[in-house]
Amino acid sequence: VRMLELAAEYPEYRDRAARVQLIETTAHDYYGQGYQDVQQRVPKIANTCADLDWRPEVTMDEALRRIFEAYRAHVADAGTLVD
C-alpha cells in the first residue's frame, strides 16, 4: 500500500496508481491445488544483514522514490505495453 501512496505523489504514476485494486486471495485460489505456501509471512532482513555484515543505506521509502525517479521518463512508453 505504501508504494501506491508514494506513486500518487508523482504525476506520471498518479492515474495508474489510483486504478490499482488490491485483491486478497489465498495461495490455493491463486496458484491452484498442490501449491504449498507458508502459513505466515514475516519479511525481515536481520539474518541477511548478519550473514553479510551489511546494513541498508536507504529506507524503503527512499528506495521506492529513487526507482520512481529513475523511470519517470519511461512511464509513457511502458504504458503502451499494457494499454
pLDDT digits (tens, 9 = 90+) for 38-57: 777 777 899 999 999 999 99
- Across 19-40, b (16+ Cβ under 10 Å) vs e yields eeeeeeeeeeeeeeeeeeeeee
pLDDT confidence of 82, banded at 50, 70, 90? low
What percentage of the chain exceeds 70 in pLDDT?
94
Cell, residue 65? 522514490
For the entire predicted model, the pTM comes to: 0.69
**Total number of domains constituting the chain:** 1
* 83 pLDDT more than 70: no
Longest pairwise C-alpha distance within the chain: 44
Expressed as residue numbers, the domain containing 17 is 2-31+39-82
Residue 71 near residue 61, CB atoms below 8 Å: no
DSSP 8-class letter at 72: G
CATH number assigned to the domain comprising residue 25: 3.90.25.10
